[in-house]
Structures are given as structure tokens and as C-alpha cells.
Structure 1
Amino acid sequence: DTPEYPVELPNEILHNILIWLHPADLPEVSLVCRRFYFLIKENQRLCEDIYRLRLDAPPENAPIWDWEAELRDIVRLDEIFHTSRGNYVEKDVSNMQKFLVPLSQQPNSTGSDMSQAHRLPFVYKTVNRLLKHASLNGRSRDEGEESQRPVSRNVEYLSGLFEKNEVATRVFTQQSPLFDRINSRFEGSVTPFPEPLEKHQQSAKLHCLYGRPAQQGGRTRSTTTYPWACSKVYDIREYSHLNGWGPFRKDGSGRVDWEKVEAINILMWKNISTMCPRTDIFDEIWDTPFFGSFANSYVPTNLPTLSDLDAQDPYGVTGTYYRVVCFLDHSDFIRFNFSNMGIVTDNIPRPPLDRGEATRLILMDLEVTRIGAPGPGDGLDLPVVHFKGVSRSFDSDFVEDVHSTLTGSVRLTQEGEVKWSSVSAFDGQERWRSEGVQVGGVKSARGVVGTWFDSDYDIHGPVGPTVFWKAADCKNPREALLKGASEMIMQPEWLEGVVVTFEGESEDDDDDDDNDEDWDADLDPIEDELPGLLEDAEMDLDDVTTRAMGNT
């Protein structure tokens, strides 16, 4: 006989109906009758099917063991961002948690009870877990040829949450001291370095994973973040043997300093977006929320023919990379770090810096040379991969300029992050080192964010930021650059050239300084230092020497 009521349907049919419910509706449906209650309660298979219908199937190396808990956290995350459905209310979250896990086991778990301090750790852990479980299982829903590339439904879900609620996005991605400094500016105070707190690192990492660096900050969002990020990145006190001169914490633990990575991202996106406005090869990486911020998100379009070494390389090193290097005019760098301007005592950050930087685009071709076992200070889950390569810089007309060779290695840190180290040589002489962390993990498309510095670890610098990411193998990297150049060459922003001066102090601001004679003495070594510095940035020596002398 045909069932007269839904409750009379077989379990298999009811299961296939229930999987189409929004997770927040499960508690309400379970209260309809006894049969629904026992069909839904503690049904891991039902929760798994509901999850898989909406989100990525987790990769084999990151399985999900508690599907009920995953659904509960998704409901809570939805509630915090208030974007999932128009009729979504707080009681749905409370009911879901009471149904899945006794409230006594979930202190401060409901959306209405969670204070602001409790919400950041939850959002941080849940976003990181969703990215850990992300995989490229589907195709983009957008139309067009580019939509044929695989996408992650977890990333699409997170992008929707963060894009639809700008206020919540700012709350969770702007809690690092960099934004506290911007806010304190309006209070007329100069505060010492804050006590290191894990919430600062969590917020900064969320900002980095989100992938769209904030260009405005402060309570009124009227202040540009660039000068404050620039101040942190170029402060020579941020570099020491304790953090390996890279984006790592100064306690010697080897853990990533996400506050430093955040500052580099803000600085680099400002420079890139000014140098190469609205160029596809940059926009996808730098202006697309959560793009490539998870492991194995770089997927080649064409299956490459792998050498024996490449087949053993878990990091996918071999290939072509876009790299961007930025640096201050050397006179500005010396003035900022070693003059009497402004402050500085050891416990107080340097003032915001808005002098403008040189920005250089480089193509790197890397190949694996050998693979070894991890050392005592490395993560033990993956080997250490060594590589060599050639870098080719491009001048302002995107014509190949200076070439250099480089060697380096990729390894896991003890906390499981991917660390890249390299040394650049010119005419066989080592000149610059670089340390970076791969945002998103192994084989992430997001790429590597880090620092460059003198190969001898000179405590007087120079130092600066650098980023690089793997070029899509479906395109010729050089042709992609030329295409981008032809599209933007007539844009007003490009007419300034690759040396970008941002709004702020003019180059003549210091003409009347009382300390000009002292500056002349400080700058005596510049002529000797500039050639080496410019070899890395491949800038025209005459132009920069003229500018450097003009600044004095």
C-alpha cells in the first residue's frame, strides 16, 4: 500500500529526503514525532550525507570522524556571520547544539552566549578545519572558459560568509596589534609593543588565509594600513637569529609569525595593485577570498612528465613562479632605522612609514636537485627537498633584464607549516637570502610570503618583503606578463613606472631638517651599497642614485 503519511515511508527514502534539509532544521524535524527523533538522533551517516551534499569530500589525509560536530560548528559559524538564510534565528543554533551535544558539555557554545573573546578562537578553528578538509571536487559555478577549472565548495562557502558580512570579516581579521596601532593614532598615544597573545596570531592568520589584505583600517576605516605595515616590515629589529630573519616568531620556537606575514601581505598588495592594476595573474591570487589557501590547491592543467626526483617531491617544487620583490630606497631605510627621527626606544614600535618603495617582478624557474631526511628542528612528516634555479627580472617595459641563480630548500616546520629558504647569487657570489612560509600548506596555490636580506645577515640591512607563487601551467608565464602589460600600459597608475611613491611624505619633506649634515655623514657608504642592492631589484642605477642623493 502507498503510505499515507511521510512517517510511514521506509527509512531509506526518509534518509534521502532529510539530507536536503538545512542542518539547522534537523532539531525541529526531530521533534515532529518519535520516529523522526530516533531516525535523526546520533545518525552519523545522515550528518555525513548532509555535509557532503553541501561541502567538499575531505581528503584522505584529513578525514572527519565526527560528522555531527562538523554540522554543529557550521550552524554556529552561519549564525555568527548571519548570512546563511533570511529566516535564520539564534534559537536554531541553540536547538542544534542541545540536540547534538548536551549543553553541559558545551560551555559558552551558543551564539547568544559567546562573548567576542570566545568567538575568535571558534571562528579561527572552524575556518582552519574547513580549509584543512577542502578539496577540489567540483567546477566553478561561474560561466566562461575559466570556469572549467576545479574549485572547492568549502572555499566557496567561506567566501560567501566573509563577503556578505563586511563587519564580521573586519572583526575577526583585524584584531592584530597593527590595527590597534591604527586605532591608537586617533587617541594621540604611542604604545609599547603589546604582550604577545594567541588571539593576535589567530586574527592575523585568518586575515592571511582570507587573502584580501585590508587597505583601510581604524574605527572609521579612513586610515590606510600601508604605512603601519611598512613600519613593521622594514624595522630591522624584527630580524634576528631567533626568527631566522624570516616571518617567524622572535621567541626562537620556529613558529610562524602571522602578524609579520599579515604586514607583508598588506604592503605587497598595495605595491602590486599600484604597479599592475587589475591584472589577471595578480588579481586571482591577491583579490579573491580564500583562493588557494589550502593544501594541494595548485593543480596542473596538464599532467607533467615527472622525473624520479619530482615523483618523490611532496611539495611540487619544479616549475615556473611569479615573484615580486620590494625594497626601500637605501637612504630611506637607513634614515628609518638608524636616525634620531621620531622615537625610538627598544620597547616602542617605529612610527608609520610612507616613503614609497621600488617594486620588481621576477620569473623563477626551479627544479629539484636532491631529497633528504628532515633534521632535528624540522617537521618529521615530510622530507626536505633541495632545489636550484634561475631568476629573470623584468624592467618597467617587461623586457628581461638581469639574471641570477639561486639554490634553496623546502621543509616542514615542527608545527606543520611549509618553510621555503633560498640564496640568490650574482656572478657566482651569494648576495641575498630569503625565508618564507607557504600560506595554506603543501602545494597551495596561494604561494609563499616572506622576507629577503643580506646573505651575511648584516644587522644594518637592507631587508625587505618578497612573495612568489606558482604560475599556471596552461599559460606561458612571460606571455601572460606581456598580455597584462598591454592591458594596463595606458592606465594612469602605470605612468608612474615601477617605482611607486604613495600618498604621504613627499621626497622634499626633509629639506629643512636640522639634521641634514648628520644625514650626509650617514649616507657616505650608500654609493658602495647601492650596486649590490640594485642587483637584487634590477633597477636603473643612475635613476635611483639621483633619487637617493635628492632625498638627502
Structure 2
Amino acid sequence: MSATTLVNESALLALPVEIIEHILLFCHPRDVARFSTTCRFSAHIVYRSADQYFWRQLFLSLFDDPRRSVGPAQLAIADPSSYDWKAQLTRRIKAEHNALTDTVDPELESTTLETFASTLEEASSIASTSTDPPDSRNVEWLTNVLSKSDILNPLSPESSENKFRDRLNACLALPTKDRLDAETRREQRNRSRCFVYDVRNYTPDTLWGPYLPNGEVNWKHVHAIVDVVASNLRELSPEDHIARPPTGFEMTRAFSAPGDFSGRDWAGVEGKYIFVFCYFSGTDNHPRDATFFTSGFREATHLIELKLRLVPKDHMRIKFPLDDPPARVHPGYEVLYLCGSITSRGMAIGQDVTVQGYVFMGGDCIPRWRLTSVHEGRPQWCSEGVQIGNVGSAIGVASTWTAIDHGDGKPTRF
């Protein structure tokens, strides 16, 4: 170490603490951590300040303000004034380091993926009055990290059982890195088909939808739905490009979908939707493994336009049991009842087919959409849907549709 360096360091440490902190705010957190190791005084400045002002400012130099988030992130922060800026920033920087390591420690992998998922949840919302909304720092950071990492692309199907990885991949529709060859891509698509079209995954315990028996969202199921739909959309003719849903982390931000969210319609129910309906038929043998799809398999993809509007509960033509939907879980999110009309493209669905249902905020702070198709006053099909991104996100809803009697002739809910 030269004499000049010693003089410069002494001059720096002779500055008021407020000035040193201001200088450090122009540094990356990794450099701040290195500075703290130079001496006891520098460690005291970084880690032993009387309040979290420095860490809050350092956090906000890289990420969105979580106190202004909505939906799951907002509900998870019980007291915004107690947000642990230092712990959260440290957690994200460690996750970045783990993801960019050649081999991710399996014990750290789940924590890293959970950190990425929560970072996406806390991305800034898009105001409905904004014509040119600012970019989200959370989205920019996460996109940059994952573009350099293989953590969303497990080496084998056996190592892919992670709900946070599935949730992130559902938001992207396909893996971040476009490095899969045709054969690998085909195998992945068929694995998703196996899960989506296997009737064993639709039971009363899962409410006939993409849920776990404990009521939580089954993100493996949601990811499989999105993968099947996205793969099928890529095979449609060019004139159907208007039906392709927007993808990418930007489309998961709260209120990124068109609509007015300023009133009671917190979910952005009212408006026009493009519903992509995928199914197969022609066999009594339900798929159990990928070989089912190797030959003789025919899958249909139809586009349905759906117009929805909010209605009072007493306008429902279908009567729901008293416990369905559940009581409001979160004060700011009332149950929204809806009805609408269907217009099909190339699919015979009959005349006078309407949709009724409701949207509610689940106990895990994820919006649920329950719809029922009605023909000649009778319910025909019912749907369980999960908002893929945040509240009012443009990326849309992943849902499953089953017959109203689920094949046993006995309606289970109506």
C-alpha cells in the first residue's frame, strides 16, 4: 500500500459520517461491503448506524419502493415502517450471487428462487392514468440476473420440483434462455401436456383446478397450463397474432392490463378478453406419460372473445352456497361478481351462452377467478383460474375447465 493511498483513506474517514454515507450511495452494495472490511470505523458506518436511513437509500438506488406495491407484496408488509431494508437488500444481493454461480448449492436454490419471486411481487405498479409509466427497477434487475443464469432451467425434470421456479417460469411462458433444442423443447411440452390433461390432477381436494389440497396455488400446474397454451399459440396462423397474450416480467406488474382500476374494480374485471381454449378428444385413455403424445394425438386450440362486466350478487342466475365464495379475507379486496357474453372463433358453442362468476383475493394474496358457462339457463362448464402476475396484470389468468358434474352426473358446487 502506498503512502498516497494511506493519505487518501485518512482523508475520506475524516469526513463527516453523513458525507461518507452519501458517497457510498453511489456504490454497488458489494463495494459497500468491501469498504466495511477496511477498518473498524468503516464497519461501524455501514453496519452500526442508529437507523436504517442509509440502507433504505441504498436499497432504493437499485430497487422499487416496496411500500408502494400492491397485491401480495402490500398485504405481506404488515407495517411498512418496519421494513428491514438491510436484510432485504442483503438477501437480494446474495440471491444474485447464488444464481450466477456455476453450480448453485441445492440448499440455497429454493431461497434464491423465493427471493426472485418476492422481488417480482414487489415491483412497482402501473397507474391507470399513466401514458408512459416508468420502468420497474425490480423487473430490470431480475431480468438482467436471469439472462445470465440457468437457475430457471433445471438440468432434469426430477430437479424441477420448486414452486418458486414454476411461478417464475409461468410468468415467462418459456425458459428465459432460448437454448433448448427442438427435441428437448418437445419433451418439455409433452411433460406439461401430461400434467394438464391427466384427470387424476382434478379432484374435489384440488377444487378441480390448479390448487394443492391445502388450498395453495399449485404453481407446477399453472406453469404446465401456460406452457401448453404458449406452445400451441406459436403454431397458430399469423392472422391470429392478436390473440397472443403479452409475456415477460413487465406484464406481471400490477395494473399493467388495460382498464380503469381506480374504483371498486380492483381486479380489472370489466372489459374485453381473449380466452385461449386448448383441449384434446377422441380417446378413452387418459394420458399418463409422454409417449401418449408421440403419435395419433390431436390437440385443438380455439380463441374465444369474452366481454365481462360487474354485477350485484343478487343478479346471479346461478345460486352459490353460503360458503362459496368465502368471506372476504382482506379488507381492501371485496368479492367481485361478474357476468358476460362469449363470442367464439371457429368453435361451435351454441347460442345464448353466457358466463357468470366471481373474483376474490385468496388467503395467499393471489386473485382467484371462478367462472361458469351458462346455456339455456343451465350451467355447463366451470372454471378455476389463478392470476399469473400481480393484481390486474396484463399477462392474464391460467385456468382449467371441467364439466359442471365432473363426469359423475352430480353437480358439486351449484
TM-score, normalised via structure 1 length: 0.60
| 1:516 alignment counterpart | none
Taking the aligned partners of 2:290 and 2:235, their CA distance within structure 1 comes to: 25
| 1:386 alignment counterpart | 337
- Contact 1:231/1:351 (<8 A) preserved: no
Taking the aligned partners of 1:284 and 1:124, their CA distance within structure 2 comes to: 25
| 1:353 alignment counterpart | 293
Is structure 2 residue 389 aligned with structure 1 residue 434?
A: no
| 2:121 alignment counterpart | 132
Q: How many residues align?
A: 374
- Contact 1:320/1:363 (<8 A) preserved: yes
- Contact 2:243/2:274 (<8 A) preserved: no
- Contact 1:135/1:297 (<8 A) preserved: no
The DSSP-based 3-state class of the residue aligned with 1:50 is helix
User: Which of the numbers 163, 171, 187 marks the counterpart of 1:201?
Assistant: 163
Is structure 2 residue 17 aligned with structure 1 residue 68?
A: no
User: Which of the numbers 17, 25, 28 marks the counterpart of 2:31?
Assistant: 25
| 1:273 alignment counterpart | 234
Q: CA deviation at 1:69?
A: 1.1
Residue type at the aligned position of 2:116:
V
Is structure 2 residue 63 aligned with structure 1 residue 80?
A: no
Q: CA deviation at 1:213?
A: 5.3
Q: CA deviation at 1:224?
A: 3.2
Calculate the aligned-residue CA RMSD, in Å. 3.7
- Contact 2:126/2:255 (<8 A) preserved: no
Taking the aligned partners of 2:244 and 2:19, their CA distance within structure 1 comes to: 46
| 1:257 alignment counterpart | 218
Q: CA deviation at 1:371?
A: 6.1
| 1:365 alignment counterpart | 307
Alignment of 1:303-318 (within 5 A): 311-318=263-270
Taking the aligned partners of 2:361 and 2:345, their CA distance within structure 1 comes to: 31
Taking the aligned partners of 2:105 and 2:328, their CA distance within structure 1 comes to: 34
| 1:326 alignment counterpart | 278
The DSSP-based 3-state class of the residue aligned with 2:304 is strand
Alignment of 1:499-510 (within 5 A): none
Q: 1:213 to 1:283 in 2, by over 3 A?
A: farther
* Structure of higher RCO (CA pairs closer than 8 Å, 6+ residues apart): 2
Is structure 2 residue 45 aligned with structure 1 residue 39?
A: yes
Q: CA deviation at 1:313?
A: 3.3
- Contact 2:370/2:383 (<8 A) preserved: yes
The DSSP-based 3-state class of the residue aligned with 2:246 is helix
| 2:152 alignment counterpart | 169
Q: Which moved more, 1:352-361 or 1:22-31?
A: 352-361
Q: 1:298 to 1:374 in 2, by over 3 A?
A: farther
Gaps of 5+ in 2: 1-8, 69-73, 315-321, 410-414
Q: 1:217 to 1:370 in 2, by over 3 A?
A: farther
TM-score, normalised via structure 2 length: 0.78
Residue type at the aligned position of 2:54:
L
Taking the aligned partners of 2:138 and 2:394, their CA distance within structure 1 comes to: 15
After superposition, what is the alpha-carbon deviation per residue over 1:299-339, rounded to whole angstroms, capped at 9, x for unaligned?
Answer: 547x57x7xxxx233322112222111121x31xx3432xx
Q: 1:223 to 1:272 in 2, by over 3 A?
A: closer
Q: 1:4 to 1:115 in 2, by over 3 A?
A: closer
Alignment of 1:470-489 (within 5 A): none
Q: CA deviation at 1:212?
A: 2.7
Percent pairwise identity: 24
Q: 1:238 to 1:169 in 2, by over 3 A?
A: closer
| 1:291 alignment counterpart | 250
Residue type at the aligned position of 1:241:
P
Q: CA deviation at 1:126?
A: 0.4
Q: CA deviation at 1:401?
A: 10
Q: CA deviation at 1:274?
A: 1.2
Q: 1:439 to 1:414 in 2, by over 3 A?
A: same
Taking the aligned partners of 2:171 and 2:356, their CA distance within structure 1 comes to: 28
- Contact 2:266/2:391 (<8 A) preserved: yes
User: Which of the numbers 138, 141, 144 marks the counterpart of 1:154?
Assistant: 138
| 1:225 alignment counterpart | 188
Q: 1:265 to 1:378 in 2, by over 3 A?
A: farther
- Contact 1:254/1:413 (<8 A) preserved: no
